[in-house]
């Protein structure tokens, strides 16, 4: 089954404790991205990756890091989480056939993060 | 700065009662306008991409249309399973980063 998986699905942590949210896709997609979704603000892109070893900032990259060492994996790293990073996080991927189709994305099920 | 405004925020319909959702946008050179459906507790699911004014796309009871300032998602004879939040996003020329609206929450009562 074609899918994007994220782990963990739920996480409660404390301020300053480094954490990693994993994302993996089994569709051989080149493009992957991370979003956060907050009430009243909608989805906002954190980082994206056009391919292995190619990453770039989205609209809200502060406080986050990513890496793309393999095509299928795109982990999101919070080195020193703070309460304002409490949010619902989504990983997404696509196989673009043109410049516009990058945003025809498959989304993962989400990771709900709470930072105390 | 790209902007996307969706209206209404919430919409309640009776089964079979057709209606439309609106997505107004301002963007510097539209590269694409995207519609997604999001069910509670799940990630968004891609529905349509529209590229230029006058374009229309259909899928089952959904039809998306595009003008130079807005897009409509028409829902014909909706069923309870169409209940979801519908998200609109735009991509402007020269950027890969999409700008999403806040969504319209649709509830269809049997």
Half-sphere exposure of B44 (CA within 13 A, CB side): 34
**Residue B6, Cα to own-chain centre: how many angstroms?**
8
3-state secondary structure B11-23: EEEECCCCEEEEE
CA distances from A92 to A4, A22, A32, B9 (A): 7, 12, 6, 25
B68 in contact with A, Cβ within 8 Å: no
Q: pLDDT (tens digit, 9 = 90+) per residue, A21-67?
A: 999 999 999 999 999 999 988 899 999 999 999 999 999 999 999 99
Which chain B residues are Cβ-neighbours of A40 within 8 angstroms?
102
E strand residue ranges, B1-110: 3-7, 10-14, 19-26, 30-38, 45-50, 56-59, 62-66, 70-75, 84-92, 99-100, 104-109
CA quadruple A6, A7, A13, A15: dihedral sign: negative
- C-alpha B52/C-alpha B54 separation (Å) is 6
Provide the pLDDT confidence category of residue B94 given band limits of 50, 70 and 90: confident
The tens digit of pLDDT for each residue in B11-36 reads: 999 999 999 999 999 998 899 999 99
Residue A95: pLDDT over 90: no
Instruction: Tell me: pLDDT of A100 over 80.
Output: no
How many angstroms separate the CA atoms of A6 and A64, rounded?
16
pLDDT for residue A104: 87
Residues A52 and A34 sit within 8 Å (Cβ to Cβ): no
Contact B96 A44 (CB under 8 A): no
CA nearest neighbour of B12 among B107, B105, B95: B107
Instruction: Tell me what the pLDDT averaged over chain B comes to.
Output: 96
User: What pLDDT shows up at residue A26?
Assistant: 95
For residue B86, the distance in angstroms to the closest alpha carbon of chain A comes to 11
Q: What is the mean pLDDT of residues B105-109?
A: 98
Whole-number pLDDT of residue B16: 97
Torsion from C-alpha of B80, B81, B85, B89, nearest 10 degrees: -130
Indicate if the pLDDT at residue B1 is higher than 90.
no
Q: Which helix (H) or strand (E) holds A65?
A: strand A65-66
Question: What whole-number distance in Å separates Cα of residue B92 and Cα of residue B29?
Answer: 5
> Would you call B72 an interface residue with chain A, using a CB distance cutoff of 8 Å?
no
B35: tokens are 């519609």
Check residue B96 and give its pLDDT.
86
CA distance B52 to B60: 22
Which residue among A45, A107, A108 places its CB closest to the CB of B97?
A45
- Strand B10-14 with B104-109, pairing: parallel
Quote the pLDDT of residue B78: 98
> By percentage, how much of chain A surpasses pLDDT 90?
87
pLDDT of residue A74: 98
For residue A15, name the pLDDT band (cuts at 50, 70, 90). Answer: very high
C-alpha span between B64 and B36 (Å, rounded): 11
Closest residue by Cα to residue B105 from B83, B88, B90: B83
Residue B44 has pLDDT above 90, yes or no: yes
Q: Which residue in A has a C-alpha nearest to residue B98's C-alpha?
A: A103
Given this model, what pLDDT does residue A96 score?
Answer: 78
């Amino acid at each position: 089954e074609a899918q994007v998986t994220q782990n963990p699905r739920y996480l409660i942590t404390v301020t300053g404790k480094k954490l990693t949210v994993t994302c993996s896709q089994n569709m051989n997609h080149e493009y992957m991205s991370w979003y956060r979704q907050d009430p009243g603000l909608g989805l906002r892109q954190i980082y994206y990756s056009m391919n292995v070893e190619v990453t770039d900032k989205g609209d809200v990259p502060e406080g986050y890091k990513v890496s793309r060492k393999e095509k299928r994996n795109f982990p999101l790293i919070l080195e020193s989480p703070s309460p304002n990073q409490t949010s619902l996080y989504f990983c997404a991927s696509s196989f673009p056939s043109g410049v516009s189709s990058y945003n025809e994305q498959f989304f993962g099920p989400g990771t709900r993060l709470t930072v105390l | 700065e790209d902007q996307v405004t969706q209206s209404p925020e919430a919409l309640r319909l009776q089964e079979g009662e057709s209606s439309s959702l609106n997505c107004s946008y301002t963007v510097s050179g539209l590269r694409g306008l995207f519609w997604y459906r999001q069910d509670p507790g799940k990630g968004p699911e891609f529905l349509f991409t529209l590229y230029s004014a006058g374009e229309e796309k259909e899928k089952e009871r959904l039809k998306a249309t595009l003008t130079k300032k807005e897009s409509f998602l028409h829902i014909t004879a909706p069923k309870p399973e169409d209940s979801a939040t519908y998200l609109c996003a735009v991509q402007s020329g020269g950027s890969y980063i999409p700008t999403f609206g806040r969504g319209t929450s649709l509830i269809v009562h049997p």
